[in-house]
Structure 1
Amino acid sequence: MKISVLGCGRWGSFLAWYCVKLGYDVMLWGRKNSDSYKNLELNRQNSYLTLPPSIKLTNSLDEAISHGDVIIISISAQGLREFAGRLSKYNIEGKTFVLCMKGIEADTGKRLTEVFNDGIDKDVNLAIWVGPGHVQDYINGIPNCMVIDSADTGITKELVDIFASELIRFYYGHDLIGNEIGAASKNVIGIAAGMLDGFNLTSLKGALMARGTREISRLIRALGGDPFTAYGLCHLGDYEATLFSAHSHNRRFGEAYAKGEYFVKLAEGVDTTRALVNLSKEYNVDLPICQGVYAILFDKREPEKVLNDMFLRSIKFEFWG
């Protein structure tokens, strides 16, 4: 089995490392001028891992696409539309693409499989790979569970067979809408969790988890998915890795924001917040936590006041609606 990984950041480099451990022929692609690629090209390591010698490193997209039977994409969610357009120019018919990224297109509110299909005018297989887990844990042999989902159940099962191991146990997804929305929106809840940490309100994280899952389940249902998917690995199951972990970029971004500090890493939840608020308006779904994070980040409302108001809303039955 030949696998190409497109994107050589933290997660992409791990995926290449993981696939080699499974015994596959792996090629890792990165943009020639990116810092991530330059560091790997120079010494074949980054802050998280060292690439095994058998991984082929390239900055040629043509070479990477030609190599892989299965092509994993791990780039910034907001760059996927342009990237899919580039991929469409190559000979990709019959290949299987796996989106290992979490987000919603900010300007359109579209899920990433929708964005990818917009840019691809050829017959390919498409799946997503979501769920909890950090590179720092995986490379130290700490296992976790994840989900693979596709509109084609056969593709889902085939990919689980390809990627399953003792390190990552996979479940078959059966709700593409719910798994994509759930995976993306947990980053927004993660930002809120970090802000609670920043104001020493960590004890409210339990309430945040309960109410966050509830509001995302309402949105999934409105979009045509299964509301119970929010309680699975894509969303609630990823909370420990996002709301509590020192490794979570989104939680760390929220904490830094609350403290008035600058955070340099990519926090996908920022753009996802914009998308979720737009979807809440379009589908008339109340998303108080997402709307609160939006008010802080984009309307420049006072964070501590917004967070306090969020948990002091009018009294109602817990499971109304």
Structure 2
Amino acid sequence: MANQFAKFQHIGIVGGGAWGTALAAAAASAGREVSLWAREEEVAASIAADRENKRFLPGVPLDPAISASTDKAALAAADLVLLAAPAQHLRATARDFAEHLSPVAPVVVCAKGIELESGALMSEAVRGALGADRPLAILSGPTFAAEVARGQPSAIALAAEAPALGEAIASALGSATFRPYLSNDVAGAQIGGAAKNVMAIAAGIAIGRGLGENARAAIMTRGFAEMVRLARAKGAKLETLAGLSGLGDLVLTCTSLQSRNFSLGQALGEGQPLCDILAVRDSIAEGVASAPALVALGEKLDVDLPIAGAVTDVLHHGADIGDTITALMARPFRSEF
């Protein structure tokens, strides 16, 4: 039987930030026609005139196959749509595009987070905006936007409930430098992507406080245990968390200042107030909003998430970092598994 999704040629990208631009570059490198929608006039103009997203991805030349616009109708002809808007705005953005997209075009969720207001995974938020019948996939893994856009080797998880859809998207986006690995575990791919941002903030705080590499390793390992517990409660496959969208993304995000979340945590650990850190940034550290959403979801599912809770207390409840670390280390001794 022929794959009904076999010939994606025109890729629509919703979101002109660093990640949306990088995905546009990857799709163009794979030989696809690409239409990118940006909210900011300056971004669309910069890509059109200079072949560069000077605001969010400066210094990276972009393929002429990428067209950019602030007109939502520019994506009407796309046969595959990648949603790369910020996580907390994804539902509203998808709703805004509902009347402009082809009714049969599958969507790929490329945002990482948990909706703060509802506790929904990104797939649940998008289905709420676009309808339950829209074919949907998740793209998540250890990928810094600038490296993807420059064509440096990257591997990423692509989760779709329908195997034929996953295969078709992989064929459309995959190239010699951008390698999707297929899965049908939509929930697992999203839990890893959301939780690792919170753990990266915790790891950054530890490094900023000068607590050393042992502390970073402990946070990453115990943070991974929290990811696994939450994923299990959401019905995900445990092997998914050991793959690119879980452990892979956790390792990358907790070990590099290229990570918005790790660098934010490090600045916090060095004593900078959160409001000052955010005031000078033009990009979003998704872990700031995902931390309380993660904790709320854990409470709903009766899952213990002490590191996520500690990060939430520091970010949103004014908790002292030193006292919070002391409280974490004073928890009762228990079995590791």
TM range (shorter): over 0.9
- Aligned match of 1:218: 229
1:231 to 236, 242, 251: 242
Identity %: 30
Structure 1 residues 74 and 247, CA, compared in 2 at 3 Å: closer, same or farther? Answer: same
* Runs of 5+ consecutive residues of structure 1 not aligned to the other structure: none
Is the counterpart of residue 43 in structure 1 residue 43 in structure 2? no
Structure 1 residues 207 and 135, CA, compared in 2 at 3 Å: closer, same or farther? Answer: same
- How far apart, CA to CA, are the structure 2 residues paired with 1:278 and 1:149? 25
- Aligned match of 1:241: 252
Q: What is the one-letter code of the residue matched to 2:164? A: G
- How far the C-alpha of 1:42 sits from its partner, in A, is 5.2
Deviations 1:237-288 (A, max 9, x none): 1123200112100001111122233332310011111111101111111001
- How far apart, CA to CA, are the structure 1 residues paired with 2:271 and 2:44? 31
- How far apart, CA to CA, are the structure 1 residues paired with 2:180 and 2:122? 20
2:91 to 70, 81, 101: 81
- How far the C-alpha of 1:296 sits from its partner, in A, is 0.7
**Counterpart contact for 1:82–1:119, Cα < 8 Å:** yes
- How far apart, CA to CA, are the structure 1 residues paired with 2:80 and 2:227? 31
For these two proteins, the number of residue pairs brought into alignment is 317
* Runs of 5+ consecutive residues of structure 2 not aligned to the other structure: 1-8
Q: What is the one-letter code of the residue matched to 2:300? A: E
Deviations 1:141-189 (A, max 9, x none): 4312111011222211221122222212221112111111111110000
Structure 1 residues 311 and 167, CA, compared in 2 at 3 Å: closer, same or farther? Answer: farther
- Aligned match of 1:272: 290
- How far the C-alpha of 1:51 sits from its partner, in A, is 1.9
Task: Give the secondary-structure state (helix, strand or coil) at the position aligned to 1:52.
Answer: coil
Q: TM-score, normalised to structure 2's length?
A: 0.89
**Counterpart contact for 1:217–1:228, Cα < 8 Å:** no
**Counterpart contact for 2:60–2:150, Cα < 8 Å:** no
Q: TM-score, normalised to structure 1's length?
A: 0.93
1:126 to 116, 127, 136: 136
**Counterpart contact for 2:23–2:148, Cα < 8 Å:** no
- Aligned match of 1:14: 22
Is the counterpart of residue 3 in structure 1 residue 11 in structure 2? yes
**Counterpart contact for 1:273–1:293, Cα < 8 Å:** yes
- How far the C-alpha of 1:137 sits from its partner, in A, is 2.5
**Counterpart contact for 1:93–1:122, Cα < 8 Å:** no
Task: Give the secondary-structure state (helix, strand or coil) at the position aligned to 1:49.
Answer: coil
Larger mean CA deviation between 247-256 and 44-53 belongs to: 44-53
Deviations 1:16-55 (A, max 9, x none): 111111111111111144x544543553322141222231
- Aligned match of 2:335: 317
Deviations 1:75-99 (A, max 9, x none): 1111111112112223521101111
**Counterpart contact for 1:217–1:229, Cα < 8 Å:** no
Task: Give the secondary-structure state (helix, strand or coil) at the position aligned to 1:196.
Answer: helix
- How far the C-alpha of 1:311 sits from its partner, in A, is 3.3
RMSD: 1.7
Q: What is the one-letter code of the residue matched to 1:222? A: A
- How far apart, CA to CA, are the structure 2 residues paired with 1:32 and 1:185? 29
Task: Give the secondary-structure state (helix, strand or coil) at the position aligned to 1:256.
Answer: helix
- How far apart, CA to CA, are the structure 1 residues paired with 2:308 and 2:127? 27
- How far apart, CA to CA, are the structure 1 residues paired with 2:175 and 2:302? 42
**Counterpart contact for 1:277–1:291, Cα < 8 Å:** yes
- How far apart, CA to CA, are the structure 2 residues paired with 1:318 and 1:98? 36
